[in-house]
Structure 1
Amino acid sequence: MIGKNIYEIRKRRGFTLTELADRAGIAKSYLSNIERNVNKNPSINVVEKIALVLGVEMKALLISDANSETQPQPLDEEWVDFVHELKDSGVEKDQIQEYKTLLEFIKWQKKRDGGK
């Protein structure tokens, strides 16, 4: 996941592998290994350097959706109300986590279907 995110953002920013590695102060081969998921666990220091050069927050590299670098959307009032209703009805945060897999699947389906 992190390698794919770095690769996609690097391409969108117009950096070559060599340029990003040089600017981040890391070896080109090391960056290549990260992008190809040969090294799936780079140090936080390396991730921080890459994020700085790419001009994104570290979380844009760490989470599954590389498009997270865009500005967050304002909260929809309906969703805020829904969350308050859940809370008022006694649903705890950890109970909501049980549905995370289902929500991820729905997001994946929407993305696959072009957001419909």
Structure 2
Amino acid sequence: MIGFHIKELREQRGFSLSKLAEKAGISKSYLSYIERDMQKNPSLQILSKIARPLGISVDQLVQDSIQKEIKLDQEWQLLILKAIQAGMKKEDFLEYYEYIQFKNRQKKR
């Protein structure tokens, strides 16, 4: 989840992926992997390089990411339980999730 938080901070500060990668001294592709959660465990050295141009400490970056973890309320838990009982699999959920992301990107254009 740290990657999603980094992306959120980058966008809030008005940095493109290329600009933050340049300021952090890391490759654009590596930063993209982190943001898309394909690289789940970046080193503290890399996190430090990313945090500096974002104007926060590594500790703050990590703590904020942890606090942003979604806690499911009872309604969400019940909805998920019903979906599982109806036969929904993780793959089905991921397919719907990717579709929603696609639709949201289309709306932004």
Aligned to 1:3: 3
TM-score (norm 1): 0.55
Aligned-pair distance for 1:61?
2.3
What is the aligned residue count? 71
Correspondence 1:23 to 2:23? yes
Q: Which runs of 5+ in 1 are unaligned?
A: 67-103, 110-116
Q: Which has the larger radius of gyration?
A: 1
Shift of 1:24: 0.4
SS of structure 1 residue aligned to 2:66: coil
Please name the residue that 1:64 is paired with. Answer: 66
Write the distance in 2 (CA, Å) between the matches of 1:6 and 1:58: 11
Kindly indicate whether the alpha-carbon contact (under 8 Å) linking 1:34 and 1:42 is maintained by their aligned counterparts in 2: yes
TM-score with structure 2 setting the length = 0.58
**C-alpha displacement of 1:65:** 3.3
Query: Is the 1:5–1:64 contact (alpha carbons within 8 Å) kept by the matching residues of 2?
Result: no
Larger helix proportion, structure 1 or 2? 2
Cα deviations across residues 38-84 of structure 1 (Å, max 9, x unaligned)? 00011110100110010012123223236xxxxxxxxxxxxxxxxxx
Q: How high is the sequence identity, in percent, across the aligned residues? A: 47
